Chains A and B, each alone.
Chain A
Amino acid sequence: MRDRDHLGEFEHIVMLALLRLEDRAYGVTVRREIELRTKREVSIGAVYATLDRLESKGYVKSHHGEPTPERGGRSKRFFRITAQGLAAVHRTHGALRSMASGLGLARSHS
């Protein structure tokens, strides 16, 4: 059943942010990317809670970078999408496209 799982709204947004940021995706950049594009305030806790959930599902992998002084000597935790995660994004996107097709949403909001 896991292969048929779809992403939740915020999970979907976070996954798209990871795809946009490529190898620069860590807490700060993901949060900013989402705020910039969705125009909604997002807490770093919400981002990490979602990323941890996605990692436990196998959709995302993380690794630690080097510690930096402006981070109080703490390292960055970088995230990247796995092949399984990419498939989940396509699945969710496909489902949304299919549900929206024929409704003329793009025209009515433009």
Chain B
Amino acid sequence: MSQSRHTPRVAVLLLNLFAQGEEAASLLGDLSEESFEVAAKSGTAAARQWYWRQTLKTLAHLFACDFRNAPWSTSALLIGGFLLSRFVSSVPDRILSAMTDKYLFYWSNHFHAYMFLATDGMLISHLIAVTLVGSTIALAAKGKEMLAPTALALVLAGMAVIGSIVVTAKTADASFLWIAAVQSSNSFAMVAGAAIVRMRRRSAQAQPRPA
């Protein structure tokens, strides 16, 4: 399917992720048809703006509808996902301290490698862990893979932003805002993990089954 200049790719990707199979095709078709007409009347920039506005409103509706259709299972996944993310986020730190204790002599001779592991390595391992949490929640939510992980990601990012603003205001130390940035990237990784499961499942459903 060809995408024209007035259909933003990211918006199409988001709608594809959040809308159900047949619904996604109808939605995207309708938006494509209308944006084509907006572009002819008001130009490509106006059409892209219109498309984004419709996409954001539509995503909010899809989100609310999915939650209304399955409030209990979504809430259970949210709570389960929250507990899992708390547990998983402590795993890289525990592994690092265990490795440090066991191979103390090696790390003392390779201090730069240790520093990399303790800084960038930890950030990367946290991102991977959170991506796995997002994928796990999505695997447990058949048909609504994006709902619970995205909701949890928004809750965690919101908590981190509020927390870091409060601490920054109390301590007058802007370096605490870094926590919000790290948690936001973790939240993005969680949604990405769910998106991977969603796309894998969709492509598996699209493949013809053997007779």
Contact = CB atoms under 8 A, between A and B. Distances in A.
B28 interface: yes
Interface in A64-83: 67-68, 70-77
A59 interface: no
Contacts of A31: 30, 34
Chain A: interface residue count, which band? 20 to 34
Interface stretch (B54-62, B70-78, B125-133, B180-188): B54-62
A24 B26 CA distance: 15
Interface stretch (B1-9, B99-107, B134-142, B166-174): B1-9
Nearest to B64: A49
Contact of A43 (B1, B22, B57, B65): B57
A74 B4 CA distance: 14
Contacts of B28: 72, 74
Contacts of A28: 30, 33-34
A31 B30 CA distance: 10
A44 B3 CA distance: 19
Chain B: interface residue count, which band? 20 to 34
A38 to B, nearest CB: 16
Interface of B: 1-4, 7, 22-23, 25-34, 36, 54, 57-62, 64-65
A104 interface: no
Contacts of B29: 27, 67, 71-72, 74-76
A45 B59 contact: yes
Classify the secondary structure of A's interface with B: helix
A26 B27 CA distance: 10
**Ranked 10 nearest A-B pairs via Cβ:** A45-B58, A74-B29, A43-B57, A45-B61, A27-B30, A71-B29, A77-B26, A72-B32, A73-B1, A72-B1
Nearest to A53: B65
A46 B64 CA distance: 10
Given A52-B65, A72-B7, A44 B27 contact: yes
Given A48-B27, A52-B65, A71 B54 contact: no
Contacts of A72: 1-4, 7, 28-29, 32
Contacts of B61: 43, 45-46, 48-49
Nearest to A77: B26
A44 B54 contact: yes
